Amino acid sequence: MSSADEYDRSMNIQSHAPGYWPLEAMEKWNDHKWQLRNRINSLEELESKINLTREERSGILLSGNKLAMSITPHYMNLVDKDDPNCPIRRQIIPRIEETWEDPAELSDPCGEDSHMPVPGLVHRYPDRVLFLVTDRCASYCRYCTRSRVVSGVGEQQLETQYEAAFEYLENTPSVRDVLLSGGDPLLFTDAKLDRILTRLRQIPHIQFVRIGSRIPIFLPQRITPELCAMLKKHHPLFISIHTNHPKELTTEVQQGLIRLAEAGIPLGNQSVLLKGVNDDVITQRALVHKLLMCRVKPYYLYQCDLIEGSSHLRTSVSKGLEIIEGLRGHTSGYAIPQYVIDGPGGGGKIPLNPNYVVQHTDNQVVLRNYEGKEFIYPEPNSMPAFLE
Ligand SMILES: *Cc1c(COP(=O)(O)O)cnc(C)c1O
């Protein structure tokens, strides 16, 4: 277990070549296309680099028709060669537990398929939509909430209908916020992404656009000055990144994030609470501090969705509450994400907070602070008895 100090000092972790790659790889390392071409997609490739456990080996063999394995060289270099409990490894290398069935699990845990007015467009909330623009990512998270359609190897396909989606948005003035996700939208070329954003920007009632992407973490080389210059034309544009562990915030990742911030893009982070990865206060505190150093505001901390084969990565709700309690008051308010559960079957994001209200009557609220001390706040209508 690393201490918080150790993590704070680890700001300059690098994921540079060669790492697991031959020296010649250094020449191409910063080319994102090279990174994508050289992803690790098979058991043989992975086994030539690290020592796998039996659980991992069988997991990889069985993942082929469920959710593909794919790991960028950049991210691979963060994997600990010998430690099967490495927090990076648990996120990206399949394990046999993925084939375990739990009756509570669902293939579409957030009930998205039943909220699509057009294939690929999820309209659950009154004023905003989730637009699934692609089914591909730079690497695949083993707890992917959309594993049913992502990576192209499962039974279901995404089949987004772009033209119908744009027409729906044009004809639905209640939508003022569009969230591009997938898959990972930043996998598109600059030109393709520019066309999508330009089309959205032509719709007058769409005020706010955001992109959900893990590319800044998996493939920071993609965050080129050209990409940033293109994105900058479509403000107000926000980006939500996805990082779960302080080790992921390498110097290359930090540089990419700062480049996005310099283009005027406000950055938020969405983390998933994962057992053995980030389900303790020390790791979370180090993560949120490093995020602020990278100019990213921690946005949401998600309780892991009930996705099929995720039981080994799910942790209790009490753990999540304990983490928030360990942050609130103890560190900058800006560093604290909102803990949420996406209501299974389609409830949307529901906030969870530690309970700071000890007692609430018509006359007063009894509160406790982060140190456990109690305070009384009188309600405005509670006149002291002597004035009545
Ligand atoms: C998460 C999500 C959004 C965005 O929610 P915010 O709370 O505004 O970030 C929109 N639509 C769907 C279907 C979502 O899952």
Give residue-wise pLDDT tens across range 162-174: 999 999 999 999 9
Closest ligand 1 atom to residue 130 Cα is 11
Q: Is the CB of 176 under 6 A from ligand 1?
A: no
Q: Which of 116, 125, 145, 242 to mutate to test the pocket of ligand 1 (most atoms within 8 A of CB)?
A: 125
Mean pLDDT of the chain: 94
Q: 12-19: list long-range contacts, CB under 8 Å, 24+ apart.
A: 12/251, 13/78, 13/247, 13/249, 13/250, 13/251, 14/250, 14/251, 14/252, 15/74, 15/75, 15/77, 15/78, 15/250, 15/252, 16/77, 16/252, 17/73, 17/77, 19/73, 19/76, 19/77
Q: 255-259: list long-range contacts, CB under 8 Å, 24+ apart.
A: 255/220, 256/216, 256/220, 256/221, 256/222, 256/223, 257/216, 257/223, 257/294, 257/295, 257/296, 258/294, 258/295, 259/223, 259/225, 259/228
Domains recognised in the chain with CATH numbers: 1-354 (3.20.20.70), 357-387 (no CATH)
Q: Is the CB of 125 under 6 A from ligand 1?
A: yes
Helical H segments across the chain, by residue range: 4-9, 25-28, 32-37, 43-47, 54-62, 73-76, 87-92, 162-170, 190-201, 215-218, 225-231, 251-262, 281-293, 317-327
Q: Is the CB of 130 under 6 A from ligand 1?
A: yes
Q: Are 120 and 81 in contact (CB under 8 A)?
A: no
Residue with the smallest CA separation from ligand 1 atom 2 is 130
Q: Tell me which of 61-70, 84-93, 324-333, 369-378 is least confident.
A: 61-70
pLDDT grade, residue 5 (50/70/90)? low
pLDDT grade, residue 131 (50/70/90)? very high
Non-local CB neighbours of 205 within 8 Å, separated by 6+ positions: 173, 174, 175, 176
Q: Is the CB of 122 under 6 A from ligand 1?
A: yes
Residue with the smallest CA separation from ligand 1 atom 12 is 130
pTM for the full predicted model? 0.95
Q: Is the CB of 349 under 6 A from ligand 1?
A: yes
The arithmetic mean of pLDDT across residues 330-358, rounded, is 97
pLDDT tens sequence across 108-128: 999 999 999 999 999 999 999
Give catalytic status of residue 110 as yes or no: no
Q: Is the CB of 179 under 6 A from ligand 1?
A: yes
Helix (H) or strand (E) holding 213: strand 208-213
The arithmetic mean of pLDDT across residues 34-46, rounded, is 97
Give catalytic status of residue 305 as yes or no: yes
Whole-number Å distance, alpha carbon 234 to ligand 1 midpoint, is: 20
User: In the prediction, which pLDDT does 272 show?
Assistant: 98
Whole-number Å distance, alpha carbon 299 to ligand 1 midpoint, is: 12
User: In the prediction, which pLDDT does 292 show?
Assistant: 98
Q: Is the CB of 175 under 6 A from ligand 1?
A: no
Give catalytic status of residue 125 as yes or no: yes
Q: Would the pLDDT of 83 be above 70?
A: yes
Q: Is the CB of 128 under 6 A from ligand 1?
A: yes
pLDDT grade, residue 1 (50/70/90)? very low
Q: Which residue has the higher pLDDT, 257 or 386?
A: 257
Whole-number Å distance, alpha carbon 130 to ligand 1 midpoint, is: 7
Give catalytic status of residue 135 as yes or no: no
The arithmetic mean of pLDDT across residues 245-262, rounded, is 97
**Percent with pLDDT over 70 in the chain:** 95
Give catalytic status of residue 304 as yes or no: no
Given the residues 110, 141, 228, 304, select the one marked as catalytic.
141
Q: Tell me which of 15-19, 332-336, 357-361 is least confident.
A: 15-19
Q: Would the pLDDT of 197 be above 90?
A: yes
